[in-house]
Amino acid sequence: MKRAALTLLVVGALYPATSAQQPASSPTVTFTKDVAPILQKSCQNCHRAGAIAPMSLLTYQDVRPWARSIKSKVVAREMPPWYIDRHIGITKFKDDPSLTDAEIATITKWVDSGAPQGNPADMPKPRVFADVDKWHIGKPDMIVSLPKPYELRANGPDEFYDADVDPEFTEDMYIAAVETKPEAYSFKVVHHATANMIEDEEEDPVGFFFNEYALGKNGDIFPENSGRLIKAGSKIHFNLHLHPSGEKALVNVSIGFKLYPKGQVPKYVAFTQHMGDNTDLDIPPGEVARTDGYFRLPKPAVISAFQPHMHNRGKAQCMEAIYPDIRPDSARPGPARTETLSCVSNYQFGWHITYPYADDVQPILPAGTIIHITAWHDNTPANKYNPNPRNWVGYGQRTIDEMSFAWVSLFYIDEADYQQRVEARKKTHE
């Protein structure tokens, strides 16, 4: 009898103990321990006072009211801004800020369990932001701005402003990185700013494309051993596309350079090229329209970055390589080999992001490869950026017109270099 009672007692004592242990195997997700480190790493650079995002996400008090909205933005992968398709083509990039599936699961679990604060002692040390954070390329060695700000009216149609600046470059320079950006108070009104380099005003008064800023864009950092040449005496031509915001604005933009040390000439000269332009756009009202454009590589090339360019109706864009025939003399050359390099499948008009390929996956393409750019424009009411789904839309410079091309960063290499790189790449991927 005694024994049986004892057994019962033991079982009774064990049961509550087991159930009390259960939470330990699925611990509560808290703000201070689990969520704050993710926000520090991936959100706060923009979500803090004075930066471009609408609200600060530094403290629990800042974040709590936004919990539901944060969950929906991270689950839809709309935040942080990074819209490259993770399932097609090349998926490895430099400075990829996007969240992992595990981080998204942590945020989701935290919001679904009531967004608890947790133990304040678990809070990580605040992240320290320097002012240079404003430059994605790091602190520039040289900055060129408009000599005097442009005064933009409070209301009215978009404006285009052109200005030539002579920075008085006295010697040739090679640059390792470049970024164009509005000065703080101009962020709200600058739709885009391009900087062209004019080497010879008489021969070519417009110059050639050098760099572009558009809302949300980061900078162009050229691959190791490659740089762009700025010739002594070059002038910079700025072209600003401005969108009045309801308040008068004094607009200025700057272009910042990181330079190669004096006397050092990089082996490869990199540049950024419009590819796949198509000015014959035909986007009927209420429809999703597809446009194709092409660019032929005259020499073997290494592609270092991809950035789709469309306007409000932009929905998606893909970049594909159509390889040259391997047996051009054959009577039956067979189908051309094609390969999708990248797609942005959820294009967001507000974010013109350059997607820089990681060094070990940059496409190395033979001479004669055709870069095929396919763009889709969404002119239906489902597109929240669509100003009017009842209008036919064609090509044009204004925000309400459309465009279709990609900015592609690359450098050309010679045939021997091409063969060598292809062999080396094969080895790393064996």
Interface residues toward ligand HEC, by CB under 6 A:
42-43, 45-47, 52-54, 66, 69-70, 73-74, 79-81, 97, 99, 350
- In the bound complex, what is the minimum distance in angstroms from residue 145's beta carbon to ligand HEC? 22
- What are the angstrom distances between the C-alpha of 16 and each of 5, 8, 150, 152? 18, 13, 73, 71
- In the bound complex, what is the minimum distance in angstroms from residue 356's beta carbon to ligand HEC? 15
| DSSP string computed for 158-200 | -EEEEEEE-----S-EEEEEEEEEE-GGGTTTEEEEEEEEES-
Helices marked H in 95-253: 101-112
**What SS3 string covers 294-340?**
EEECCCCEEEEEEEEECCCCEEEEEEEEECCCCCCCCCCCCCCCEEE
Q: What is the DSSP letter of 57?
A: -
Q: Indicate the helix (H) or strand (E) that contains 275.
A: strand 268-275
Q: What is residue 423's three-state secondary structure?
A: helix
Give 47 or 228: the residue with its C-beta nearer to ligand HEC: 47
Give 44 or 272: the residue with its C-beta nearer to ligand HEC: 44
Give 38 or 408: the residue with its C-beta nearer to ligand HEC: 38
- In the bound complex, what is the minimum distance in angstroms from residue 400's beta carbon to ligand HEC? 19
Give 69 or 245: the residue with its C-beta nearer to ligand HEC: 69
- In the bound complex, what is the minimum distance in angstroms from residue 80's beta carbon to ligand HEC? 4
Give 95 or 414: the residue with its C-beta nearer to ligand HEC: 95
- In the bound complex, what is the minimum distance in angstroms from residue 114's beta carbon to ligand HEC? 18
Q: What is residue 91's three-state secondary structure?
A: coil
Give 219 or 227: the residue with its C-beta nearer to ligand HEC: 219
Q: Which residues contact 36 (CB under 8 A, 6 or more apart)?
A: 60, 123, 124
Q: What is residue 66's three-state secondary structure?
A: helix
Q: Which residues contact 103 (CB under 8 A, 6 or more apart)?
A: 38, 42, 74
- In the bound complex, what is the minimum distance in angstroms from residue 379's beta carbon to ligand HEC? 21
Give 52 or 165: the residue with its C-beta nearer to ligand HEC: 52
Q: Are strands 288-296 and 338-344 parallel, antiparallel or unpaired?
A: unpaired
Beta strands in 183-275 (DSSP E): 190-198, 208-214, 220-221, 226-230, 235-242, 249-251, 253-259, 268-275
Give 55 or 422: the residue with its C-beta nearer to ligand HEC: 55
Instruction: Kindly report the length of the chain.
Output: 430
Peptide bond into 80 cis (omega under 30): yes
- In the bound complex, what is the minimum distance in angstroms from residue 399's beta carbon to ligand HEC? 16
Q: What is the DSSP letter of 359?
A: G
Give 52 or 358: the residue with its C-beta nearer to ligand HEC: 52
Say how far apart CA 182 and CA 251 lie, in whole Å. Answer: 8
Say how far apart CA 48 and CA 126 lie, in whole Å. Answer: 12
- In the bound complex, what is the minimum distance in angstroms from residue 72's beta carbon to ligand HEC? 7
- In the bound complex, what is the minimum distance in angstroms from residue 287's beta carbon to ligand HEC? 25
- In the bound complex, what is the minimum distance in angstroms from residue 42's beta carbon to ligand HEC? 4
The token pair at 175 is 């640059």
The token pair at 415 is 């045939």
Give 132 or 336: the residue with its C-beta nearer to ligand HEC: 132
